[in-house]
Structure 1
């Protein structure tokens, strides 16, 4: 039926129905507008075209923002040795997930042996200082020994105690147990331990290389704390609040919308761009494929407002721009360009570029059939 009743190409004398401002239908011998599409009554019935007024509905107002995924400082850790040494083993590869406290690599340095030797020597000297202190204390109490020797013994005892404590702390810093050293377990290697749970990145050492002190040899990233660093223009700053919902997508990756929540709003502009930084945390981050540094397109939901809207299917793309169809007569529709906003619950916000006549009706359903007919007519003309 569509094939039989399809609209045909008209010349400059074709008569068309148009709708006047009072809603009546008038006939005109003027040339058909390029945006006009003719549909017979039978076509309208078959295509199930429905029309109605442009209505206002409660939709979420959104602020568009761009930015990238970032990690807070506590979500990233650099692993480096406190003392230089030869890398003897590496127990992980890039991409591994490791738990906090796992041994990642071992470093060998002969100086560690001397440190443990100093600890044992100081421990023995402390034992001697304790005995001498007790002896001098007894002599002083019985007024047999000189008071000066007692005070010297007391000082020596305190010095040895402080020295032993400092050496024990140093051993613990390197991950060496003083108790094991006291038991005769001397080692020349230390373990590099994971300070956080996360994924291994950027291993910059291999077995046999010399690891410089305080120079990272690998990175750990905990992506459970990924957040959004967004830039919002000055004109929208007054709409921002903590706790607002954020919907974002990855422009370079095919993915569904992901939710986040604003937890911080900047209080100053960044540089000369007149944008305010906004930070949002991803809720229940179980999404795979999210990496720090990825660019994102986001919408910050700032509450619901009444806005002109149409069903999603009523808005069509023509030459990559959104359009709607106005009923211009009993068998005629006019295509109008619009700007679109938020889409929610099956409805899309539309902003008219040109005002509509009074009592106008627009296509609510079947817009794609009308668009297809328009494009078919354009092909016929070519």
Structure 2
């Protein structure tokens, strides 16, 4: 029993004496994380090649969505300035109309009264014109009093104003006062299309009374119809006027139409996005406002730091490039990738300066495998 006790004590002392030395050895040889050193033979057998991170301009294609839009100045709301009953119209949404085409017929007794008032005012103006000429001659000969001439002169001037005002009211409803006589007074007045375009809305029906403020029809001039694209805030600085844009529609996904950027908005909405307006170089047929579209914006000459695509490796949901830090010595550098073109990819890092860095450009996964196998062994 005594021998057993001594044996256990010796073992305990031995363990207590050896522990500090082992810890010291471990401290002297720490493992370098995400790094590895290969022999010349390993580098040759793995086919590892190296090169530098290069600065170059890349071209990008930005995928966005949007709708067909019409500027406000190309949307025309048609009203009748004096009100009346809609007697006739043949318009339907989607119909094409030509400038000057009759799009509706309005009738009302007020229209008859306006024409009557104008003709009566015109007749009285003719009478006052003759009276003015007589009184002027008599006043010059001092046959009549100056007061009489002044009264006639005032009446004549007032009548001219009244005739002018009534004539302008007639022009508002497309009646030519110069051709109006007692023989062609009409209770109906035609409405004409002010533009070449198509009908987007019809807000009235035959027999309905419309006020001067009511919008009867809405017409769209398609000459300036364009694509309005939604672009996120981070991509807005990449877009400039005159950039090329390819547009396709849902019903024709395989066909693209060329556009160019004509306007970049200077504000961002609550969704952190802005609107880019693009003009169609060749306007597609059957193009209607509100149609959904897909677009590709071509962005040229974006300054970038690039490496070959084979130089980027992925491990644990992270992307890396393998930096050459010495002869056959390598270390991982965490990066984010961006544009890709002609086998090269743009890379960036928030913690390391990449410009001119020497990296593994081929068989970088062989170095990554060596690093991770070394870590597992340790």
- C-alpha contact 2:119 2:181 (8 A) present in aligned 1: yes
SS at match of 2:163: helix
Whole-angstrom CA distance in 2 between matches of 1:128 and 1:117:
17
Residue of structure 2 in register with 1:277 after alignment: 275
Task: Confirm whether residue 140 of structure 1 aligns to residue 139 of structure 2.
Answer: yes
Other structure's SS at 2:118 match? helix
Q: Distance in 2 between matches of 1:342 and 1:223?
A: 38
- Aligned positions of 1:39-78 closer than 5 A: 60-78=59-77
Instruction: Say whether residues 1:149 and 2:132 are aligned partners.
Output: no
Contact 2:307 2:361 in 1 (8 A): no
Corresponding position of 2:297? 300
Q: For the structure 1 residues 238 and 146, does the alpha-carbon distance in structure 2 shift closer, same or farther, using more than 3 Å as the test?
A: same
2:257–2:282: 8 Å Cα contact kept in structure 1? no
For residues 169 and 176 of structure 2, what CA distance do their matches in structure 1 show? Answer: 10
Between Structure 1 and Structure 2, the one with more helix by share is: 2
Q: How far is the alpha carbon of 1:304 from its aligned partner?
A: 3.7
Shift of 1:56: 11
For 1:339-366, what per-residue CA distance to the aligned partner results, in whole angstroms no more than 9, with x for missing partners?
A: 99678xxx788679xxx964349xxxxx
Q: Over residues 226-261 of structure 1, what are the superposed CA-to-partner deviations in whole Å (9 max), with x where a residue is unaligned?
A: 212223233233322221122222356534122211
TM-score under structure 1 length normalisation: 0.64
Aligned to 2:113: 114
Residue pair 2:340, 2:346 contacting (<8 A) in 1 also: no
Taking the aligned partners of 1:187 and 1:83, their CA distance within structure 2 comes to 15
Q: Map 1:332-347 to 2 at 5 A.
A: none
Q: Would the aligned equivalents of 1:69 and 1:292 in 2 still touch at CA under 8 Å?
A: yes
Contact 1:23 1:360 in 2 (8 A): no
Residue in 2 that maps onto 1:234: 233
Alignment of 1:4-43 (within 5 A): 22=43, 24=45
Any idea what SS the aligned residue of 2:287 has? coil
Q: What secondary structure is seen at the aligned counterpart in 2 of 1:202?
A: strand
Contact 1:21 1:359 in 2 (8 A): no
Alignment of 1:352-371 (within 5 A): 358-360=361-363
Summarize the alignment of residues 309-328 of structure 1 with structure 2, pairs less than 5 Å apart.
none
Match of 1:225 in 2: 224
Report the Cα offset of residue 151 of structure 1: 1.3
Alpha-carbon separation, structure 1, partners of 2:45 and 2:163: 102
Equivalent-residue separation in structure 1 for 2:223 and 2:307 (angstroms): 39
Q: Please say which of residues 255-264 and 201-210 is displaced more in the overlay.
A: 201-210
Q: Does 1:168 align with 2:167?
A: yes
Superposition deviation, residue 91 in structure 1: 3.3
CA RMSD, Structure 1 to Structure 2 (Å): 3.4
Note if contact 1:68-1:230 (Cα within 8 Å) is conserved in structure 2.
yes
Q: Is the 8 A contact 1:250 1:297 kept in 2?
A: yes
Task: Select between 59-68 and 222-231 the one with higher mean Cα deviation.
Answer: 59-68
In structure 2, relative to structure 1, the CA distance for the partners of 1:342 and 1:102 (3 Å cut) is farther
Q: Give the conservation status (yes or no) of the 8 Å contact 1:62–1:342.
A: no
Paired residue total? 281
Rg bigger for which structure? 2
Q: Mind listing any 5+ residue stretches in structure 1 that lack a counterpart?
A: 1-19, 27-54, 311-337, 362-382
Distance 2:340 2:78 in 1: 45
